[in-house]
């Protein structure tokens, strides 16, 4: 630390809301409950959510993560991740005689239904998102012959449609709000009659976490975002921080990934976390900062969140039949070696 940054000027701005959204919470609890109910192993197609700590912790409990459906032994239980899957994946699972539990976030399911509806009306659907992201693959799989991927504003000039009078845009739920709206603006310049989705596709949690960062960023010398590098919404938070005034920004999974030189000359550190990040990891970062003089922690509240989703119908039915609770009660069994809640 340089001599210019004394204890009196050191502070942390802590974003609220941060961390788990309702869809992530539901997906993680689904795997926990499935392990309680069926016993290990329980197979999960793709990472249940994009967070290294969550995946590692569930693996220790007996979850087995696979990339493709055909890696799951016939007759086993498989959980589909929060990011959603294409209809062909459901067909593959049925052919293998798998018991399926669909932990797709209900807000992603909403986008799937919009895609099906507009495709049935023969619209060209411009899906704003990142190529290869699991959510985009799942949504595009609902109507591949009608969907064209738009990766951002610079991609608009390359987009062609059959009928400019029958065009609608949809989006991945975890994108940058500002960049998505810029993409929409450019698309509308090219296709003036393009329709909007019936309701906002970018999820409330993504928007709220970005809003908190926007509030904080102008006052931050450094923004630390807790999240994994394959988490789209976490990566966006770093970008939003820089775009809105933070002098620097970094993404870390754990506190021990922080480079102490980042703190040289830094008075105000912003801290937030992506929507798939357990609060335990944020606490680790706060402890790390406190040990280096950043003990003054001030919350920055951008929104209040109270949304809770019920568990998937498939596991609720089995839990009730077994006389077990189907409520969204978190598993406290992880508290000793790293809580997921």
Give the catalytic positions in this structure.
135
Angle at 229 between CA 141 and CA 100, to 5 degrees: 40
CA–CA distance, 326 with 322 (Å, rounded to integer): 10
Question: Which letter does DSSP use for residue 328 in this model?
Answer: -
CA–CA distance, 53 with 41 (Å, rounded to integer): 19
Give just the sign of the alpha carbon dihedral 151, 156, 162, 168: positive
CA–CA distance, 326 with 127 (Å, rounded to integer): 35
Q: Two tokens at 28?
A: 């993680």
Do β-strands 11-16 and 268-273 pair in parallel, antiparallel, or remain unpaired? parallel
CA–CA distance, 78 with 98 (Å, rounded to integer): 7
Measured in degrees and rounded to the nearest 5, phi and psi for residue 166 equal -130, 70
The burial of 194, by beta-carbon neighbours within 10 Å (0-12 exposed, 13-18 middle, 19 or more buried), is given as buried
CA–CA distance, 149 with 128 (Å, rounded to integer): 6
CA–CA distance, 307 with 284 (Å, rounded to integer): 26
CA–CA distance, 303 with 214 (Å, rounded to integer): 12
């Amino acid at each position: 630390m340089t001599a210019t940054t004394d204890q009196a000027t050191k502070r942390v701005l802590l974003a609220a809301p941060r961390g788990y959204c309702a869809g992530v919470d539901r997906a993680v609890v689904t795997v926990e409950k499935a392990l309680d109910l069926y016993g290990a192993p329980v197979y999960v197609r793709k990472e249940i959510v994009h967070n290294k700590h969550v995946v590692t912790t569930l693996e220790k409990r007996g979850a087995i993560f696979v990339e493709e459906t055909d890696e799951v032994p016939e007759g086993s239980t498989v959980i589909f991740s929060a990011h959603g899957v294409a209809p062909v994946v459901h067909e593959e699972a049925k052919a293998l005689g798998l018991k399926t539990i669909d932990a797709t976030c209900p807000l992603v399911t909403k986008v799937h239904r919009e895609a099906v509806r507009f495709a049935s009306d023969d619209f060209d659907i411009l899906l704003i998102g990142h190529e290869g992201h699991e959510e985009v693959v799942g949504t595009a799989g609902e109507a591949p012959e009608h969907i064209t991927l738009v990766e951002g504003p610079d991609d608009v000039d390359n987009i062609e449609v059959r009928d400019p009078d029958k065009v609608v845009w949809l989006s991945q739920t975890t994108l940058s709000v500002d960049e998505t709206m810029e993409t929409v603006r450019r698309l509308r310049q090219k296709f003036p009659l393009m329709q909007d989705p019936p309701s906002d596709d970018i999820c409330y949690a993504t928007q709220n976490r970005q809003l908190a960062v926007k509030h904080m960023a102008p006052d931050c010398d450094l923004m630390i975002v807790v999240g994994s590098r394959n988490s789209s919404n976490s990566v966006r938070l770093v970008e939003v921080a820089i775009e809105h005034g933070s002098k620097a920004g970094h993404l870390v999974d754990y506190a021990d990934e922080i480079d102490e030189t980042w703190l040289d000359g830094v008075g105000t550190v912003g801290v937030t976390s992506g929507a798939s990040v357990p609060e335990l990891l944020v606490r680790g970062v706060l402890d790390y900062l406190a040990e280096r003089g950043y003990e003054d922690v001030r919350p920055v509240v951008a929104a209040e969140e109270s949304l809770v989703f019920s568990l998937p119908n498939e596991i609720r039915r089995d839990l009730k039949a077994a006389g077990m609770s189907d409520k969204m009660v978190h598993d406290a069994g992880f508290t000793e070696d790293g809580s997921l809640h």
